[in-house]
A and B are shown apart, each in its own frame.
Chain A
């Protein structure tokens, strides 16, 4: 019995000593298994409890001592393994070290802006579709009521392709309207993001390529008021609940009536500042009721009604994030790109 109790004290002392030597977590765990594990030394002592040499009194005393040692050992290991600061001299957890996260990339701001615009219109019941960047003259112009030798072509200075006659780089996303309507009849509501091209020299506010999001809703009973409401609902989600839009009569060959949509300048509360060029309003979109000639071009019956709109993604991103040079989008300097979420 004495020998057994000595052995127990020895085990306790040994564990204390080894743990105070601040072993690494694996060594501490090995030590724990050695002492407290299923086949560990303490269990060996417990198993000796059933030996026939002990009388009941001895057995109970031994049992009590064994349980006490077990409790103490468990406590020792718990303290060690939970690493109470100051409780051990081992490497402590430095809470001020930089956190670690596998490095992820980001989406380009134009993608983020396009996705946001599109997602809002999806929420309003629009479906997203796409179209090709090389277009026919017919889809890009004639079917949209922009005849050759008409001054309205001036706003669409277009790139043509050599050795591919009658083909051009689309100067707006509107030809997708034509493609879609030739494939499918009303009612529908679609939104069309995409890249477009105009023969503009590159400077801080112009580029020969940019991105648009086009919208088209056709169905019985659609009104000009629905166009206003849809765009207003979009603007409030895009720019915040306080956003205001105003609609100004304008001219587009493919809509009648036509309007330009201006966003109230949030910097000056429409009083006029340098951002809005003292106008108080920022032009952000063009829209209108689809011109009957467009419906005629795709073979829809007379009396069909619908609205269409289009907006520039770069322009909206520049307004939203205070970007003053369109070239930043295409340079891909990571110091610019990584400012976006």
Chain B
């Protein structure tokens, strides 16, 4: 909200520089976000929090400023003047007002006759312009001036444009329409509260008036409206109509019930002054329900305790009186009645905040809670989520394995999902997406990984990429979200092995037990042979090479093979850490031998490995591939595996002949099975 310093000064004595005022207001809870010169004046830009509608006016802000600075609030004479401004003709007003809905609690109508509608005098027009409002005419401008001055939204009807002698505040009926003063015809729903004459709605209650009954040059008689509408009702209307106005902004936060009357009189006098009108009839004031005066019990000691601030009971009383509360009772127990404009003060904690902010948050000593000491004395359930530590370990292990962590968007586009017919179908759609680019929750992590790879490859940030991401993936059917892990390797022919190696490394280091691998053909987004990983019977994930069509879609050059795996982390998260038991160290060192064999190209390593392990049983304990060779040293169409074999027999020393026999058996089996020759 914008505030002109000169206007504010009409209501409060101010002698401090504008910057200092801004600082004080900020530290009391109303942040001043901008301060600029406006001619000889100053313009303050401030953010009023939703709980303080009373600050959305000069009067309210002046009250607050006076309380914070300890200055005198200057009550203008017209605010407290008691004598009625209307002539006592005794005639009843030429209009009747009926409140037919609970959501209008009070309606004040004042008729002003004989007005001359013309432009406002320059001082008023200039003020409104400074507040960012276009001056219209003296009547409308008077209502807007009072809106800023007192925070009460008002509306002026051309009384002669109203049909009949009765105005009703009621719900709109299906099929009713209203041309509002912004020139739009709006279809009204029964959700809306309207002001209606005997034929049709003439205003959207608390939001905007109608074009056909607005005050213009032809107007001679004005009906001035000042009312109290239910905040939630106005807010719903404003939202449904996509129409936010200075008026709805204040009503939806709540206006001061007492001010409804005061503001009506103030505006009526102003209109009378500016337009030469006459106030011949007493105001119509229909009150449906008065808000009850609140009484809050405040225990000064409790306030001290929860704030950790030593504010004496008498000081507490003084602080609350400064903001307009009436305080009775004694130093052990105050009964506090907040003023009508502070509907946000309802419970003792609200008063605690008032005390703290008026006293100064900075005067509260910083301490540390004593909870941990108490907690240890009781049987406290461990609060820590064990998965969080495990996930951290998982991430660290993957960085160790050479993978860079990435973080991508959880939202994806419908267009890209169409390339994933399987997972895409389950992706939950947003009801209110921001743009076509982000319409669904991601059903898997591949989209983000490929997009990140594309960014790097296209910008030539790196030639070789190894990425991982952990995050939630989503589905429209339960479970709605699951933890997942993606691994991507691009720009290297060994990408697949890097991804597979990382999965195996995780299985080993996170003590997952046996992760079974199964060969298969194709999976969503992957082409050719793929490897599936199982933990027990549960599918953990699939690893393979990304389809060329997808690479094209992400503008990744297709000559770069991209390996990808997505893993479900839920089965891993469910497994709690099994307590680690250390095995005794072997007393005898193993016998280590290398075995280089030449086999036909199509012989899979896995088969050779299993054959060796089986033939070497029970002395062969460990087996590792240390070299894979293709080249001039082996015949064409063949390749060479070099294995390192480790024999041991527990606590006893192996004899040379035992090892030789086992080795020979392995060689013979390999020969028979694959036609392998020694190299």
**A107: contacting residue among B383, B395, B441, B461, CB under 8 A:** B395
Q: How far is the CA of A246 from the CA of B28 in the complex (A)?
A: 12
Taking CB as reference atom, which chain B residue is nearest A193? B388
- Is B309 a contact of A225 with CB atoms below 8 Å? yes
**Also in contact, A134 and B480, with CB within 8 A (given A163-B429, A330-B408):** yes
Given the complex, which residues of A lie within 8 Å of B410, measured CB to CB? 133, 169, 195, 197, 209
CB–CB B356/A217 < 8 A: no
Q: Which A residues are in CB contact (< 8 Å) with B459?
A: 333
Q: How large is the interface on B (under 10, 10 to 19, 20 to 34, 35 or more residues)?
A: 35 or more
CB contacts under 8 Å to B, within A300-341, are 305, 329-335, 337-338
Determine whether the beta carbon of A162 is less than 8 Å from that of B430. Answer: yes
The answer to whether A42 has its CB under 8 Å from any CB of chain B is no
B392 contacts across to A, CB distance below 8 A: 115
Stretch from A50-58, A91-99, A183-191 forming part of the interface with B:
A183-191
Q: Is the CB–CB distance between B434 and A201 below 8 Å?
A: yes
Give the interface size bracket for A toward B.
35 or more
Interface mask (B501-519 → A, CB under 8 Å = 1, otherwise 0)? 0000000000000000000
Say whether A164 contacts B480, CB under 8 Å: yes
Q: Which residue of B lies closest to A331 (CB)?
A: B455
A37 within 8 Å of B by Cβ? no
Q: Are B306 and A159 in contact (CB under 8 A)?
A: no
Instruction: Write out the residue numbers on chain B whose beta carbons fall within 8 Å of the beta carbon of A151.
Output: 50, 231, 235, 252-253
> For the complex, is B350 an interface residue (Cβ under 8 Å from A)?
yes
Q: Is A103 an interface residue (CB 8 A)?
A: yes
Instruction: Say whether A219 faces chain B, with CB atoms less than 8 Å apart.
Output: yes
Q: Is B50 a contact partner of A154 (Cβ separation < 8 A)?
A: yes
Query: B357's contact among A105, A134, A257, by CB below 8 Å, is which?
Result: A257
Known contacts: A107-B405, A163-B476, A225-B364. The answer to whether A127 contacts B382 by CB under 8 A is: yes
A330 x B409 contact (CB < 8 A): yes
Q: Are B368 and A226 in contact (CB under 8 A)?
A: yes
Q: Which of B388-405 contact A (CB under 8 A)?
A: 388, 392, 395-396, 398-405
A230 to B365 alpha-carbon distance, docked (Å) = 11
User: Known contacts being A132-B481, A134-B474, is A105 close to B29, with CB within 8 Å?
Assistant: no
Given contacts A104-B400, A223-B305, A337-B404, are A161 and B362 in contact (CB under 8 A)? no
From B372, B375, B385, contact of A129 by CB (8 A)? B385
A248 & B361 in contact (Cβ 8 Å cutoff):
yes
Interface: A256 (CB within 8 A): yes
Within 8 Å of chain A (Cβ to Cβ): is B418? no
Whether the pair A337, B406 counts as a contact (CB closer than 8 A) is yes
Interface hits, A241-266 → B, CB 8 Å: 246-251, 256-259
Q: Which A residues touch B349, using CB under 8 A? A: 256-257, 289, 291-292
Q: Check B431 against A222 for contact (C-beta < 8 Å).
A: no
Give Cα distance in the complex from A124 to B328, angstroms: 42
Given A160-B431, A289-B349, A217–B402 Cβ distance below 8 Å?
no
Asked, given contacts A108-B405, A127-B383, whether A133 binds B371 with beta carbons under 8 Å apart, the answer is no
**Cα–Cα distance between A289 and B350 once the two chains are bound (Å):** 11
For window 182-217 of A, CB contacts with B under 8 Å fall at 184, 187-190, 195, 197, 199-201, 208-209, 217
A-B CB contacts (within 8 Å), total count? 267
B356 contacts A249, C-beta separation under 8 Å:
yes
Are the CB atoms of B49 and A250 closer together than 8 Å?
yes
Which of B307, B368, B371, B452 neighbours the largest number of chain A CB atoms within 10 Å of its CB? Answer: B371
Inter-subunit contact A107/B236 (CB<8 Å): no
The answer to whether B50 and A217 touch across the interface, beta carbons within 8 angstroms, is: no
Shortest distance in angstroms between A222's beta carbon and chain B's nearest beta carbon? 5
Whether B407 contacts A329 by the Cβ 8 Å rule is yes
Interface string of B42-67 (1 = CB under 8 A from A): 00000001111000000000000000
CA distance A284 to B443 in the complex (A): 33
Please give the distance in Å from A220's CB to the nearest CB on chain B. Answer: 7
A169 CA to B347 CA, complexed, in Å: 31
Q: Are B353 and A258 in contact (CB under 8 A)?
A: yes
B466 with A105: CB separation less than 8 A: yes
**Chain B contacts for A149, CB-based, 8 A:** 231-233, 235-236
Separation of A316 and B627 alpha carbons in the complex (Å): 48
Q: Which of B428-444 contact A (CB under 8 A)?
A: 428-435, 438, 441
Contact mask A88-126 → B, CB, 8 Å, 1/0? Answer: 000000000000001111111011000100000000110
B467 at the interface (CB under 8 A from A): yes
Q: Which of B306, B309, B369, B383 has the most CB of A within 10 A?
A: B369
Q: How far, in angstroms, from A257 to B308 measured CA to CA in the complex?
A: 12
CA distance A200 to B556 in the complex (A): 29
**A residues less than 8 Å from B382 (CB atoms):** 127
Report yes or no: B385 in contact with A209, Cβ–Cβ below 8 A. no
> Contacts A151-B50, A332-B406; is A219 near B26 (CB within 8 Å)?
no
Are A189 and B232 interface neighbours, CB within 8 A?
A: no
Residues of chain B contacted by A250 (CB below 8 angstroms):
29, 31, 49
- Check if B364 sits within 8 Å of A217, measured CB to CB: no
* Min distance, Cβ B403 to any Cβ of chain A, angstroms: 4
| Inter-subunit contact A162/B466 (CB<8 Å) | no
Q: Does A130 contact B (CB under 8 A)?
A: yes
Q: Are A129 and B50 in contact (CB under 8 A)?
A: no
Identify A225's interface contact among B367, B378, B456, B468, CB under 8 A.
Answer: B367
Pick from B26, B403, B474: contact of A105, CB below 8 A: B403
- Between A and B, 20 residue pairs with Cβ closer than 8 Å are A104-B401, A105-B401, A105-B404, A106-B399, A124-B368, A127-B385, A149-B232, A149-B236, A161-B441, A162-B428, A189-B371, A189-B375, A225-B307, A225-B364, A229-B367, A249-B357, A251-B49, A330-B407, A335-B461, A337-B404
8 pairs of A and B residues whose beta carbons are closest in the complex: A225-B308, A249-B29, A223-B308, A257-B353, A251-B49, A127-B383, A149-B232, A229-B366
Excluding A130-B388, A162-B429, A184-B381, 16 further A-B contacts by CB distance (< 8 Å) are: A104-B400, A104-B402, A105-B405, A105-B468, A128-B384, A151-B253, A159-B430, A160-B430, A188-B383, A208-B409, A219-B371, A221-B369, A223-B308, A228-B366, A246-B361, A331-B455
